[in-house]
Structure 1
Amino acid sequence: MPKNDKPHAALLASPGMGHLIPIVELGKRMAAHHDFHVTIFFVASDHGSTTLLLKSPTLENLDIVPLPLVDISGLVDPNTQLVEKLIVMMRESLPSLRSLIAAMMYRPSALIVDLFGADAFEIAEEFKMFKYVFNTANAWCLAVIFQSSRLDNKFILEHHVNGQKPLEIPGCKSLSSEDIPESLRNIDCNDQPEFHGTKMTNSHGILINTWEDLESSTIEALRDNNYLGGLVKVPIYPIGPLVRQDGNQALDKQVKQWLDKQPIESVIYVSFGSGGTLSAKQMTELAWGLEQSQQKFIWVVRPPSNNAVGTYFTIGIDDVDGTPDYLPQGFFTRTKETGLVIPMWAPQAQILSHPSVGGFLSHCGWNSTLESIMNGVPMIAWPLYAEQKMNAAMLIEDFEIAVRPKVSTTEDIVGREEIENMVRTIMADKEGQAMRDRVMELKNSAEKALCKGGSSFNSLSQIAKDCMHHLLP
């Protein structure tokens, strides 16, 4: 096999935008700033990820390769949790990944997988590659994963969920019972490898989509050789924030023209991620709350669903002004001067970077959280699933750049008056301006971490050096 004169890394991403986006951005950064040749493998799904990734702007030394779609219908039940489905899907994709790597002219010196891809380490070992895990969430989430791997889910359910006792995380702040992710509330989740630290620690290092100054105490705890009895015995590499860049994707002409007409920092952007949805009753309350706030807004609207992850169905339309039947009648007419409704999807990174945007009502996915920080935009935290409640707690308690409803956004209905008050707090009150000042400080800190000589730049540089040394005879 011919020798390569630069380190070649293979990245493996599981389905889901929360993993795909940071994996792609990691690949771009490795190729553009650290002299890697990068091949990104991703498991194709039926959620549009294939189209999105293959259209993603690429660099000369970056390739994006889809793995064939796998049929797991005979391996899991229809009611199986999404996390377990992803793990099975990744496992069934390993033969295709092995064949593609075996056929490569230049064998990668490193394999970097996300939390669902640790089973691919057997391929890395076979081909004598360095093996890394990329935790696309934050350091606190990683610490929770390690701590929970030492406890069984029955214990967590009885003592912390039902018993309402905070889950203590050594070296970090504790996790309130209300914010424990759904996966840890399920007794049947004990065999899911992403909640077992042993899989991740069977690597040459763990990359995290955060930076030193943002979570310094948590990162320091994870690096302690005695942490959790020596469980975390591999290097920790904070390499973030890795977020979508504007690229060549332009804003829709109507959206851009509307934003260009608005005063600076006068618009709140409302979106619940690539698939998050609300119930019909909650949609109504949100619509009234936005309208009553009298603040400018852009709202990415999807049909309601009782499943927060989202399902879509045929809708009716108000004959008077085109308002969908799941929004208050006449909503479009009454808000035509103050609001803009975008159906289904919007280019979030471009909208958040527009000078007119001054607030973000978000589901608190970590990608969205980082995009908000990187654009200096404070938030209304409205978590729906996964680790989003944890992220919301960080935004409010640690960073003080967000507000949150007083009731649970997954178990109760947030009323229109509270929504109105939260929007006004972020967009019109002194408290919102103070949050805006603090988030700008975090933005500056993040930019320093990514610059040459910054902490995140240096972390990736160290990985590049290790991989380059691996190439030497």
Structure 2
Amino acid sequence: MAGGSSDHVVLFPYMSKGHTIPLLQFGRLLLRHGRSRDKPITVTVFTTPKNEPFVSKSLSDTPDANIISLPFPENIPGIPPGVESTDKLPSMSLFVPFTRATKLLQPFFEHSLLNLPRVSFIVSDGFLWWISDSASKFDIPRLAFYGMNCYSGAVSISVRLNELFSQPQPVEPVAVPDFPWIRVRKSDLDPVFTDPSPSGPLFELVMEQIKSTSTSQGVITNTFYELEPVFVDYRQRMGGPKAWCVGPFCLSEPPMKPDNDHTGDKPAWIRWLDRSLEEGRPVLYVAFGTQAEISDDQFKEIALGLEHSEVNFLWVTRRDMGEVEEGLEERVRGMVVREWVDQREILRHDSVRGFLSHCGWNSALETICAAVPVIAWPMMAEQPLNAKMLVEELKIGVRVETEDGSVKGFVGREELSKKVKELMEGEKGRMAREKVKEYAEMAKKSMEEGSGSSWKNLDLLLHELCGCS
């Protein structure tokens, strides 16, 4: 590999926007650090052709970021032609074959490494387990990124080590041995952590990812120490690769430009939020990410619950509501958006007073940094633990309860309406709003140049892997 005068970091995000966005934000953070020191940092991002436009647009104002597109494999059994990201999959049941197929990118990735300037280290998504082998071949340090907090990891590890669900358990929550104030249900965790004898394609893939991570030089963690000190310390005590808390990454992006004086240049939903603010109408932002699979019946019930709450809402969904939508916006002064939106811009709008969210970690951090309390409705993966953290640990919101107590259970309109009113109009909402303001300030301080805990952690990481100070 050719030499270079700057430190050079390679980023390889998993092909899912929820994984790609924070790693691109981390790239911005690296570039910002580079500008603050004598030796600059350059960043190369690997992606695939159909993901490249999104990556390019996200980094269009960062000339020190290079993008390399690798050909995504074709003719994958079960995967429709042209699908290169999980949000385009017909069902998340195809997650395993889709993820397995990424290994076919390995020879193209390694060929590209041969022609790059010297690489200081690689940060790749933990789902791309095979990159650890490539890094080893080229003697390049590799760090994994999973886009999770330390709370969910610590609770999952404690449950597994203590075999908390080794025997059939009732649906009632039980105390976590290492954190006795936390009570979890079996359905709150992935079966990998609760099944005494896990097996199958998903388990095999997860084990390969865990093994790959165990050989890495660390794990990049999108959180800040002050948010979850007990759980960060627990993760470090358990040994293994160090968790480097260097977030929130969303604060690495430049401040939003002032609103254009010409209102016609603003997106329609921002103009609607502006009018809501002028008229003194607090708004509930509603979004469940790109991966949530919601049944037709549940979808209708959400609409009816929002209508019954009589709260003004901005609902972002790519789904066609059909007859559900007819007259809905007029009846409740709501707005439905089916386009890709700048979620941070929405959350930071002064009219937005609450967020009905699936509790993906990116959304959780964005709502914390925007000082907006949450109505937690987890639907998959580690989201139930994220919801517990936000509601029970941080006390910055309320949680929607399903009818049968399970994560994937049905939520009735009465329950949803009740929790919406509780957050937007009740005492719990007021207290959550005050609490989240405190964490928003902590987040901002953690990223302050030279003095913030996350800034200092990244300094230490760069010193360890690049020898720079």
Q: TM class, shorter-chain normalised?
A: 0.7 to 0.9
Give 1:93's aligned amino acid. Answer: L
Partner of 1:70 in structure 2? 73
Partner of 1:257 in structure 2? 271
User: Residues 331-370 of structure 1 correspond to what in structure 2 (within 5 A)?
Assistant: 331-335=328-332, 338-370=333-365
Equivalent of 1:40 in 37, 42, 45: 45
Secondary structure of 1:467's counterpart equals helix
- Structure 1 residue 95, shift from structure 2 partner: 0.9
Secondary structure of 1:290's counterpart equals helix
* Residues 164 and 176 in structure 2, CA contact (< 8 A), matched pair in contact too: no
* Residues 133 and 207 in structure 1, CA contact (< 8 A), matched pair in contact too: yes
- 1:440 & 1:412 partners in 2: Cα distance? 32
Give 2:15's aligned amino acid. Answer: P
Give 2:230's aligned amino acid. Answer: S
Q: How has the CA–CA distance of structure 1 residues 434 and 174 changed in structure 2, closer, same or farther, with 3 Å as cutoff? A: closer
Deviates more, 1:350-359 or 1:125-134: 125-134
Partner of 1:205 in structure 2? 218
Partner of 1:327 in structure 2? 324
* Residues 239 and 456 in structure 1, CA contact (< 8 A), matched pair in contact too: yes
- 2:267 & 2:467 partners in 1: Cα distance? 49
- 1:165 & 1:254 partners in 2: Cα distance? 44
Whether 1:297 aligns to 2:302 is no
Alignment: residue pair count: 437
Partner of 1:318 in structure 2? none
Whether 1:384 aligns to 2:392 is no
Deviates more, 1:19-28 or 1:452-461: 452-461
Partner of 2:398 in structure 1? 403
Q: How has the CA–CA distance of structure 1 residues 187 and 161 changed in structure 2, closer, same or farther, with 3 Å as cutoff? A: farther
Q: How has the CA–CA distance of structure 1 residues 92 and 196 changed in structure 2, closer, same or farther, with 3 Å as cutoff? A: closer
Partner of 1:238 in structure 2? 245
Q: How has the CA–CA distance of structure 1 residues 357 and 215 changed in structure 2, closer, same or farther, with 3 Å as cutoff? A: same
- Structure 1 residue 444, shift from structure 2 partner: 0.7
- Structure 1 residue 36, shift from structure 2 partner: 1.8
Deviates more, 1:433-442 or 1:63-72: 63-72
Q: How has the CA–CA distance of structure 1 residues 465 and 101 changed in structure 2, closer, same or farther, with 3 Å as cutoff? A: same
- The TM-score normalised by the length of structure 1 is 0.83
Q: Which runs of 5+ in 2 are unaligned?
A: 35-39, 81-89, 260-264
- 1:432 & 1:80 partners in 2: Cα distance? 34
- 2:66 & 2:439 partners in 1: Cα distance? 32
* Residues 169 and 175 in structure 1, CA contact (< 8 A), matched pair in contact too: no
Whether 1:159 aligns to 2:170 is no
Q: Which runs of 5+ in 1 are unaligned?
A: 304-314, 316-323
Q: How has the CA–CA distance of structure 1 residues 394 and 347 changed in structure 2, closer, same or farther, with 3 Å as cutoff? A: same
Partner of 1:4 in structure 2? 4
Secondary structure of 2:307's counterpart equals helix
Partner of 1:121 in structure 2? 132
* Residues 22 and 243 in structure 1, CA contact (< 8 A), matched pair in contact too: yes
- 2:153 & 2:7 partners in 1: Cα distance? 27
Q: How has the CA–CA distance of structure 1 residues 117 and 301 changed in structure 2, closer, same or farther, with 3 Å as cutoff? A: closer
Q: How has the CA–CA distance of structure 1 residues 274 and 165 changed in structure 2, closer, same or farther, with 3 Å as cutoff? A: closer
Q: How has the CA–CA distance of structure 1 residues 269 and 4 changed in structure 2, closer, same or farther, with 3 Å as cutoff? A: same
- 1:96 & 1:162 partners in 2: Cα distance? 49
Q: How has the CA–CA distance of structure 1 residues 470 and 130 changed in structure 2, closer, same or farther, with 3 Å as cutoff? A: farther
Deviates more, 1:116-125 or 1:274-283: 274-283
Secondary structure of 1:392's counterpart equals helix
- 2:432 & 2:173 partners in 1: Cα distance? 30
* Residues 182 and 386 in structure 1, CA contact (< 8 A), matched pair in contact too: no
- 2:91 & 2:309 partners in 1: Cα distance? 40
User: Residues 10-25 of structure 1 correspond to what in structure 2 (within 5 A)?
Assistant: 10-25=10-25
- Structure 1 residue 42, shift from structure 2 partner: 2.5
Q: How has the CA–CA distance of structure 1 residues 94 and 386 changed in structure 2, closer, same or farther, with 3 Å as cutoff? A: same
- Structure 1 residue 64, shift from structure 2 partner: 2.3
User: Residues 379-458 of structure 1 correspond to what in structure 2 (within 5 A)?
Assistant: 379-407=374-402, 408=405, 410-452=407-449, 453-458=451-456
- The TM-score normalised by the length of structure 2 is 0.84
Give 1:333's aligned amino acid. Answer: E
Secondary structure of 2:273's counterpart equals helix
- Structure 1 residue 143, shift from structure 2 partner: 3.0
- 1:135 & 1:301 partners in 2: Cα distance? 25
- 1:213 & 1:177 partners in 2: Cα distance? 28
* Residues 265 and 355 in structure 1, CA contact (< 8 A), matched pair in contact too: no
- Structure 1 residue 111, shift from structure 2 partner: 1.0
- Structure 1 residue 142, shift from structure 2 partner: 2.9
Partner of 1:179 in structure 2? 188
- 1:420 & 1:80 partners in 2: Cα distance? 29
Partner of 1:312 in structure 2? none
Equivalent of 2:101 in 89, 98, 103: 89
